[in-house]
């Protein structure tokens, strides 16, 4: 019997859906978007990411979809449903009330869209950087255009937003929810319902399970790994330095070019997969709603248990980097728990009309208000406005100043970063400096120092020789490689020196020091290895060439009769060497010969010709060790094959040599911009004498622009050394300087600070940082400017100044004597452009041509 609308065509044939699709197709939106390029797309990308903050959007959508999900099962009070049902459904993409769409049509609409988008994403992921090729020939995300990154952002966002609506609709089909099949006169689990059931199961496996798995793999693959060491090269102690650790991780995420950045950038490192957890929780919330639960109380209690555990997990973990996101999520989680608790009270007749609707409405309206207020209050322009008007002073954590570290970072490091970043000819040096900093923070100061000079002569020799064979056809054997190939491609990380072995099975191993020596020994002195390398290179010469190779294989054939196994003779075929990527020097080495000249004679006497066959590497004698054997000798020593090898050998050797030359030139150019020695001998050495610094820059650095620093910026070099001398004249001076540097660094946007540049602008000769005075004099100056009240309150209140006074007293006590006013040095002028570190602040670090006339010993009074 024909069932109206029971097949796929009937389900997708809704006139409203067709009309909406036609209107969208003819609207010209696609062509209009496609006409925008370059800066337009960059501006749109920035705007889209600002408006659609993925983390906040995800929190809002999770809440709305969760409440909307409960509307499908629970009978909420009538007034509450009138207020929220359609709104929650619309925001959650449950559009049954739009254009008369049935639930089955909603399922197919979202299932098709989500599966098509997901397939697009999987196809696109095959071209992601480093998905196949690793090493010097790998390309990064920066080579992708803005349009590509915006497409990825929009695609993955759409897939994750459609996850719950599509899975919910799929569960309705699988468990045959009430009313789902009635518009089509279908019976559950019979007839054509099984077709819809099969589609829903495929959708569940593909979207419900495989999508979260792919999201997890993507996050795990592309998320930056936190650096182990701080700016001083000391290993992080998370019990004390968690804030610095997270701040450093945020810097890595901010510099991350990966378009999947939005999946993990809003979460702390240990909770980067929180997005996947929310997807799993969404699916769990559907389970209590299936028709197997006939009564209303049981599914409500199960839902309460799920959302309670989820809320506790969220509260305890605080997974978001920004506190505002934690607060928004907390509000949503608590509201979800309260909503289901109130619904249980309604089911148990604890709440009666109209109090039930009122209570649910108040809870949800309050939550929406709180979420919106938190969101709006943390917009940058809102935060800046309130900070300017009503902000309090902020300082470094605990105002715990470590004089040697502060000296290095506040004065010396800022000078070099400001110099390299502000002078056009030195910008390449700034990029090199950032690379060195990343190495320093990943490996620490001890290993960085040791990497400049090899610890032993045998290691130094091994490093030099390994540079000669960098590339394909390298070998390294370890105990863990037993039963696996030990051949692959090797590339070198020049600093700190590492050998990166990428095996043919695409696993990777990093080698250093003694392991480098062992690599050198195996590849240069083990005869089977050197022979195996030649065999692989011979085979590369024969790649895509027609070779002679006599082969007989027993192949089943049936030509108009019964199948029989007959010996087939092959003579010539095309040899192919396949790597894991299109790059001929990529890792991977699968050899085969494609024959097309096979011939055999059947039992009935019929002769068959031109039989095709693909012979694998093992068939032609290739083993994991690539040792010579009878079959390989037959292939390589055939006169015609040997002639092919000899004719192509010089080109192969020349190509490898060009690759080596290119790598060597690239590394030499990097060293010529700024050497790795600069970091250790200059950047991290703020006590280097000025004459020695000038000698080093002129004699040991190769960049002429760096040489010019000693002449073009000689006044600035003198200025930075005079500042260091001032800082060193007494511990109390150092603390005084750090305090007011903090005032300028963290509080320059406050109106009272901005309105008094003569006191707080570090580029101003009258700044307080350079004029130590007694605490009473300081309070008087601040009161005259309205920065402090007579009763000890105000911006510079007693709490702040008492902390400063206590630190100054401790400095004087530890120094045994107050500083001599006559020995406070003069600070010479510097270019203002060099007084700021663009990485952290636009605030200059020191004044120009200041006169120090105050008595430093009065700081202790």
Phi, psi for 202 (deg, rounded to 5)? -60, -45
pLDDT at 822: 52
Pairing of strands 471-475, 487-493: antiparallel
Q: Which residues contact 79 (CB under 8 A, 6 or more apart)?
A: 354, 357, 361
Q: Which residues pair with 474 in a beta bridge?
A: 488
SS3 content of the chain, % helix, strand, coil (to 5): 60, 10, 30
C-alpha closest to that of 51 among 206, 157, 189, 162 = 157
Orientation of helix 211-222 relative to helix 103-125, angle to 10°: 30
pLDDT at 135: 57
Please report, for residues 136, 311, 484, 738, the alpha-carbon distance to residue 577 in angstroms, rounded to integers and kept in the order given.
Answer: 21, 55, 19, 64
User: How far is residue 343's CA from residue 718's CA, in Å, rounded to a whole number?
Assistant: 74
Q: Which residues contact 679 (CB under 8 A, 6 or more apart)?
A: 433, 436, 437, 440, 448
pLDDT at 83: 65
pLDDT at 292: 58
Which residue ranges in the chain fall short of pLDDT 50? 1-52, 131-133, 826, 829, 832-833, 835, 837-861
**Interior CA angle at 338 toward 334 and 343, to 5°?**
155
**Interior CA angle at 612 toward 607 and 614, to 5°?**
140
- The HSE-up count of residue 779 (CA atoms within 13 Å, CB side) is 18
Please report, for residues 569, 598, 841, the alpha-carbon distance to residue 562 in angstroms, rounded to integers and kept in the order given.
Answer: 21, 20, 84
pLDDT, tens digit, for every residue of 753-795? 888 988 888 777 788 888 888 889 899 999 999 999 888 888 9
C-alpha closest to that of 843 among 736, 727, 764 = 764
pLDDT at 88: 67
User: How far is residue 669's CA from residue 663's CA, in Å, rounded to a whole number?
Assistant: 10
Q: Read off the tokens for 439.
A: 């190495």
Q: Read off the tokens for 433.
A: 């400096």
pLDDT at 17: 34
Are the beta carbons of 191 and 3 closer than 8 angstroms? yes
Sign of the four-CA dihedral 291, 297, 301, 306: positive
Q: Read off the tokens for 480.
A: 């863990």
User: How far is residue 846's CA from residue 721's CA, in Å, rounded to a whole number?
Assistant: 12
pLDDT at 234: 78
pLDDT, tens digit, for every residue of 50-104? 444 667 777 777 777 777 666 665 666 666 666 666 666 666 666 655 556 777 8
pLDDT at 846: 32
């Amino acid at each position: 019997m024909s069932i109206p609308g029971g097949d796929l065509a009937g389900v997708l044939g809704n006139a409203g859906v067709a009309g909406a699709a036609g209107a969208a197709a003819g609207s010209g939106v696609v062509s209009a978007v496609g006409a925008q390029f370059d800066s337009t797309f960059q501006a749109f990308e920035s705007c889209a990411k600002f408006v659609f903050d993925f983390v906040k959007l995800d929190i809002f959508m999770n809440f709305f979809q969760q409440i909307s999900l409960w509307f499908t099962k629970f009978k909420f009070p009538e007034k509450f449903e009138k207020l929220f049902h359609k709104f929650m459904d619309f925001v959650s993409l449950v559009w049954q009330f739009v254009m008369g769409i049935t639930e089955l049509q909603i399922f197919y609409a979202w299932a098709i869209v989500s599966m098509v988008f997901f397939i697009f994403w999987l196809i696109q992921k095959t071209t992601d950087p480093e998905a196949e090729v690793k090493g010097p020939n790998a390309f990064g995300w920066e080579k992708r255009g803005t349009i590509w990154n915006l497409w990825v952002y929009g695609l993955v966002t759409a897939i994750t937003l459609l996850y719950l609506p599509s899975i919910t609709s799929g569960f309705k089909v699988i468990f045959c929810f009430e009313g789902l099949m009635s518009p089509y006169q279908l019976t559950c689990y019979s007839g054509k319902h099984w077709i819809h059931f099969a589609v829903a199961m495929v959708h569940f496996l593909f979207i419900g399970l495989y999508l979260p798995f792919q999201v997890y793999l993507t996050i795990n693959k592309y998320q930056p790994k936190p650096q182990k060491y701080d700016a001083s090269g000391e290993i992080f102690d998370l019990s004390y330095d968690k804030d610095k650790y997270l701040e450093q991780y945020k810097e890595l995420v901010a510099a991350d070019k990966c378009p999947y950045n939005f999946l993990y950038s809003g979460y702390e490192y240990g909770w980067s997969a929180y997005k996947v957890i929310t997807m799993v929780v969404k699916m769990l919330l559907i389970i209590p709603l299936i028709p197997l639960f006939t009564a209303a109380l049981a599914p409500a209690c199960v839902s309460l248990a799920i959302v309670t555990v989820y809320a506790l997990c969220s509260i305890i973990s605080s997974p978001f980097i920004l506190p505002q996101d934690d607060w928004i999520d907390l509000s949503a989680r608590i509201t979800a728990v309260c909503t289901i608790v109130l619904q249980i009270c309604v089911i148990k007749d604890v709440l009666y009309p109209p109090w039930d609707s009122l209570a649910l409405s108040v809870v949800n309206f309050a939550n929406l208000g709180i979420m919106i207020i938190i969101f709006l209050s943390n917009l940058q322009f809102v935060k800046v406005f309130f900070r300017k008007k009503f902000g309090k002073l902020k300082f470094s954590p605990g105002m715990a100043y470590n004089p040697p570290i502060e000296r290095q970072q506040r004065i010396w490091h800022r000078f070099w970063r400001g110099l390299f970043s502000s002078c056009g000819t030195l910008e390449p040096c700034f990029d090199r400096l950032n690379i060195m900093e990343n190495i320093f923070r990943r490996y620490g100061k001890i290993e960085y120092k040791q990497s400049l000079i090899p610890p032993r002569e045998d290691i130094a020799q091994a490093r030099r020789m390994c540079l000669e064979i960098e590339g394909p056809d390298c070998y390294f054997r370890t105990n863990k490689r037993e039963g696996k190939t030990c051949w692959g491609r090797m590339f070198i990380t020049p600093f700190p020196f590492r050998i990166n072995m990428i095996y043919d099975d695409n696993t990777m191993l990093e080698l250093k020091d003694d392991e480098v020596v062992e690599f050198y020994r195996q590849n240069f002195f083990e005869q089977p290895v050197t022979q195996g390398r030649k065999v692989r290179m011979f085979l590369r010469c024969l790649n895509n060439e027609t070779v002679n190779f006599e082969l007989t294989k027993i192949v089943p054939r049936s030509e108009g009769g019964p199948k029989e196994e007959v010996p087939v003779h092959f003579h010539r075929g095309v040899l192919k060497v396949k790597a894991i990527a299109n790059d001929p020097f990529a890792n991977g080495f699968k050899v085969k010969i494609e024959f097309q000249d096979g011939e055999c004679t059947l039992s009935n006497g019929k002769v068959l010709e031109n039989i095709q066959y693909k012979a694998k590497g093992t068939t032609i004698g290739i083993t994991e060790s690539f040792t010579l054997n009878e079959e390989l000798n037959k292939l390589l020593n055939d006169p015609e094959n040997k002639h092919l090898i000899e004719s192509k050998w010089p080109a192969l050797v020349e190509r490898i040599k060009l690759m080596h030359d290119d790598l060597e030139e690239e590394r030499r150019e990097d060293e010529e911009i700024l050497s790795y020695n600069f970091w250790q001998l200059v950047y991290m050495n703020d006590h280097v004498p000025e004459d020695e610094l000038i000698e080093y820059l002129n004699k040991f650095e190769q960049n002429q622009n760096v040489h010019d620093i000693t002449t073009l910026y000689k006044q600035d070099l003198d200025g930075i050394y005079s500042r260091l001398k001032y800082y060193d004249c007494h511990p109390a001076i150092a603390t005084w300087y750090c305090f007011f540097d903090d005032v300028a660094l963290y509080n320059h946007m406050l109106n009272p600070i901005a309105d008094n540049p003569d006191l707080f602008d570090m580029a101003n000769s009258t700044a307080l940082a350079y004029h130590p005075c007694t605490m009473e004099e300081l309070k008087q100056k601040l009161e005259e400017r309205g920065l402090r009240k007579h009763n000890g309150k105000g911006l510079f209140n007693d709490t702040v100044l008492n902390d400063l006074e206590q630190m100054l007293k401790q400095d004087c006590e530890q120094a045994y004597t107050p500083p001599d006013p006559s020995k406070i040095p003069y600070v010479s002028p510097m270019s203002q452009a060099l007084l700021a570190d663009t990485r952290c602040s636009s605030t200059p670090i020191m004044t120009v041509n200041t006169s120090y006339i105050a008595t430093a010993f009065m700081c202790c009074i």
